[in-house]
Amino acid sequence: MSVGIRQLETDVLILGGGLAALRAAIAAASAGARVAVMTKGTAGRAGSSAITSAGFSVAIGQADPADSPQSHFADTIRGGGVNRRRLVEIFCEEAPARFWEMVSWGVQFERDAGTGRILQHPSGDHSHPRTAVCVQHKGIGMTLPLRAAAAGVEFLDRIIALDLMHDENGVSGVVALDQQTLELLAVRARATILATGGIGQLYPVTSNPNDVTGDGLALAYRAGARLVDMEFMQFYPWRLISYVTGRMPVQPSSFVAGAVLRNAAGERFMPRYDPERGDATTRDIAARAIYTEILEGRGVQGGVRLDLSQAPLEEFIRLNPRVGRYFSDHGLDLATAELILAPEAHFLMGGVVIDENGRTSLPGLLAAGEVSGGSDGGNRLDSNAIPAGQVFGRRAGLAAAADAEARGGAGLGQEAVSRWAPRFSRRVGQRAPGSPNGAGGGIDRKDIKRRINDLMLRAAGIRRDGARLAEGVRGAAILEADYLASADGPRDALAAIELENMALVASIVVRAAEFRTESRAAHYRDDYPVRDDAHWFANVYAYRDTDGQMALTKERID
């Protein structure tokens, strides 16, 4: 079979389309590089960035002049524990400059009507009021101005990256698929940045949109990059599940303003789990507490009650304008409605190992945003993700531009092209040779996704234990079967790509969670309920060894 493949070429290729990708693109273009941004959806309108609540935690001292990057650093380390210190220092020091830069590009943050100063909200995670919020309370208030600021950048929308290519100098771009035409592309790049976001879709209930399926982690792992902290998955504790159909988060600042949680017996239970901070605690503790109440039979309609009787309603609505609007639009009274909250899978703390400038362990490959790991440790603080994506997105963009300039060219990765070309050169409906599904088969996307979701919920949910993790490891090995081989034509193969990536990443998460035999931050094991600093004040690294097997190691933090 002769295989034709369209080729494109650029200096810096960025895989993503959310806030980290856009910030990297602006930086690389400003350094004079030719830049292309490849997005599975549409850049600026896809990924978690487009739907985020748009909080930006930053020590700019607008609400409390005593705040400082040093205090932000101390809080971030206290929350995450095993964070890579140098990354956190850089993040906290540079976040203020990245914040004001966003303002200069037209991102509007809430301001005090009288003084015009930026409003900074408190939350249980931060020791000073530190979270500025975009006036739209939605990510597109940030992504669209950033996309507009990315002058001269080529946007390759609706194209999915399938695999990294390599030449003798390292990663040399990607093999990708145009999702509309099903045409295969090879994009050669002197430097490639992963900014493909997290893994929310691996879980059955998540805040993350459909395109957040862990692709970048799978691509990096297959290519031999090192991943870190993959056992740490954050569950957002406070998703409103009564009355609403879509996602409606209640903001952490609500609990500083007096909102409290109650179980079926009417007990205000949070002080049992965090005697010091009570309801205004960190996300890991709140998620575990709510889940435990439900598990032990003290739940209400699959969640717990939100009691606003001690919180001024006006203040609650000011902090949660989407909730306020929804209730008034539907003629519901927030003061009397029974508000039920439950946790949802939200954010991956771990990811691809990066250095201070976003370089990974593979030459030619950099990473930024949620796909990268190290700065959050075991628990990401409220609204630390967006600023970290801006700080390391910019650094990765600049480093990629410099690396691209230093590198001669970028070759076509023949091996990756040969692997993918046959799958997309068949006509739709034409069966792959040796397809295991039998006549009339094709993959059952919904069924496979449900199996991945069940596995992750059972093995790598809010509370874990050795037996369920071992079962998860076995299940993930079965799920890692080659769905692509059973795909019935290119459309089916397109659906199978994400499933294969999800199955692979699921197996990395459960293996890392099984490896860490203690409880720490967002990783809680019923069989090892105590934090064990003597053995586990360490990061867990996962990578593919030379035999193609998954290897796990731990490295103590100095």
Ligand X SMILES: Cc1cc2nc3c(=O)[nH]c(=O)nc-3n(C[C@H](O)[C@H](O)[C@H](O)COP(=O)(O)OP(=O)(O)OC[C@H]3O[C@@H](n4cnc5c(N)ncnc54)[C@H](O)[C@@H]3O)c2cc1C
Asked if 49 interacts with ligand X (CB under 6 A), we say yes
Question: In this complex, which beta carbon is closest to ligand X, that of residue 299 or of residue 343?
Answer: 343
- Which range of residues in 40-48, 147-155, 425-433, 537-545 is near ligand X by CB under 6 A? 40-48
**Using CB atoms within 10 A of its CB, is residue 277 exposed (0-12), middle (13-18) or buried (19+)?**
middle
Member of 17, 80, 397, 489 binding ligand X (CB under 6 A): 17
Query: Which residues have a catalytic role annotated?
Result: 283
Give least dist CB 536 to ligand X, A: 25
Give least dist CB 55 to ligand X, A: 3
Member of 62, 71, 120, 208 binding ligand X (CB under 6 A): 208
Asked if 199 interacts with ligand X (CB under 6 A), we say no
Taken in order 141, 30, 43, 201, the sign of the CA dihedral is negative
Give least dist CB 110 to ligand X, A: 12
Using DSSP, state whether 534 is helix, strand or coil.
Answer: helix
Q: 15: phi > 0 → left, psi -120 to 50 → alpha, else beta; which?
A: beta
Member of 29, 47, 260, 449 binding ligand X (CB under 6 A): 47
* Amino acid identity, position 133: V
- Which tokens sit at 121? 């909200």
- Which range of residues in 116-124, 282-290, 381-389, 423-431 is near ligand X by CB under 6 A? 381-389
Asked if 215 interacts with ligand X (CB under 6 A), we say yes
Member of 76, 83, 172, 196 binding ligand X (CB under 6 A): 196
Question: In this complex, which beta carbon is closest to ligand X, that of residue 164 or of residue 473?
Answer: 164
- Write out the DSSP string of 2-63: ----EEEEEEEEEEE-SHHHHHHHHHHHHTT--EEEE-SS-TTTSHHHHHS--EEE----SS
Query: For residues 274 and 376, what is the distance between their CA atoms, to the nearest angstrom?
Result: 21
Query: For residues 283 and 125, what is the distance between their CA atoms, to the nearest angstrom?
Result: 8
Query: For residues 356 and 200, what is the distance between their CA atoms, to the nearest angstrom?
Result: 26
Query: For residues 207 and 248, what is the distance between their CA atoms, to the nearest angstrom?
Result: 9
Query: For residues 44 and 39, what is the distance between their CA atoms, to the nearest angstrom?
Result: 9
Give least dist CB 442 to ligand X, A: 21
Give least dist CB 446 to ligand X, A: 20
Member of 123, 172, 192, 207 binding ligand X (CB under 6 A): 207
Asked if 197 interacts with ligand X (CB under 6 A), we say yes
Within 310-398, strands assigned E span: 339-348, 351-353, 365-367, 372-373
* Amino acid identity, position 167: D
Count of positions (residues) in the chain = 558
Asked if 55 interacts with ligand X (CB under 6 A), we say yes
Asked if 194 interacts with ligand X (CB under 6 A), we say no
Query: For residues 531 and 518, what is the distance between their CA atoms, to the nearest angstrom?
Result: 6
- Which range of residues in 4-12, 192-200, 222-230, 459-467 is near ligand X by CB under 6 A? 192-200
Query: For residues 546 and 555, what is the distance between their CA atoms, to the nearest angstrom?
Result: 20
Check: CB of residue 120 under 8 Å from CB of residue 155.
Answer: no
Backbone angles phi, psi at 196, to 5 degrees: -95, 5
Question: In this complex, which beta carbon is closest to ligand X, that of residue 49 or of residue 519?
Answer: 49
Asked if 53 interacts with ligand X (CB under 6 A), we say yes
Residues 452-491 that bind ligand X (CB under 6 A): none
Give least dist CB 303 to ligand X, A: 18
Question: In this complex, which beta carbon is closest to ligand X, that of residue 153 or of residue 473?
Answer: 153
Bridge partners (DSSP) listed for residue 179: none
Total chain residues near ligand X (CB under 6 A): 40
Give least dist CB 117 to ligand X, A: 20
- Which of 267, 237, 48 minimizes the C-alpha distance to 142? 48
Asked if 259 interacts with ligand X (CB under 6 A), we say no
- Which range of residues in 33-41, 103-111, 395-403, 545-553 is near ligand X by CB under 6 A? 33-41
Helix, strand, coil shares, percent, the chain, to 5: 35, 20, 40
Asked if 500 interacts with ligand X (CB under 6 A), we say no
Question: In this complex, which beta carbon is closest to ligand X, that of residue 89 or of residue 211?
Answer: 211
Asked if 347 interacts with ligand X (CB under 6 A), we say yes
Member of 191, 195, 285, 367 binding ligand X (CB under 6 A): 195
Member of 367, 386, 404, 494 binding ligand X (CB under 6 A): 386
Integer-rounded Cα Rg, in Å, for the chain is 23
Contacting residues toward ligand X, per CB under 6 A: 15-21, 38-41, 46-49, 51-55, 160-161, 195-197, 207-208, 211-212, 215-216, 347, 369-371, 383-386, 389
